[in-house]
Amino acid sequence: MKILEVMSKEAILDDLKSQNKKGILEELVVPLASSTGLNSEDLVRVLMERERLGSTGIGGGIGIPHGKIKDLESLVLGFGLSRNGINFESIDGEPTHIFFVLITPEDSTGLHLKLLARISRILKNDHFKERLLNAADRDELFEIIKQEDEEF
């Protein structure tokens, strides 16, 4: 599964402003709520519940908040860039800049895990991460993700 099969350009946020975990999640879900018709507060609640189990800040400046919700027809993916970085309680204690947020239907474990694995794999590429961090805007971020998506 390709990333851009489930993520639209509108779900890419190029300048997250919040300085805390809940605020970042609130920003990240806005385009997802809009595209799914789900309530953004419900999406944030699901993501925060998952965060209570353990931070999805995987280190290296990356966060992959994710959760499952009952009333969703198919999985949705969003991307956000925090240019200043925030404390997302990452395992390495470093600020988090790059966020992929994944919301999946309650019963879609296989797809959920495949997409998480794909995102984790491409984010091991330091050149890709550097390009994301230096992107000027949403269009450039989309093109960078598209190029990486095609190569992988």
Q: What are the CA-CA distances from residue 139 to residues 2, 75, 122, 145 (Å)?
A: 18, 22, 19, 10
DSSP character at residue 88: -
Tell me which of 66, 97, 112, 127 is the catalytic residue: 66
Residue at 61: amino acid letter = G
Place of tokens 């999640």: 25
Q: Which helix (H) or strand (E) holds 126?
A: helix 126-134
Q: Which residues contact 138 (CB under 8 A, 6 or more apart)?
A: 9, 12, 13, 14
SS3 14: coil
* Residue 112 appears among annotated catalytic residues: no
Query: Which bin fits 53, alpha (ψ -120 to 50), beta or left (φ > 0)?
Result: alpha
Could you give the residue numbers annotated as active site?
66
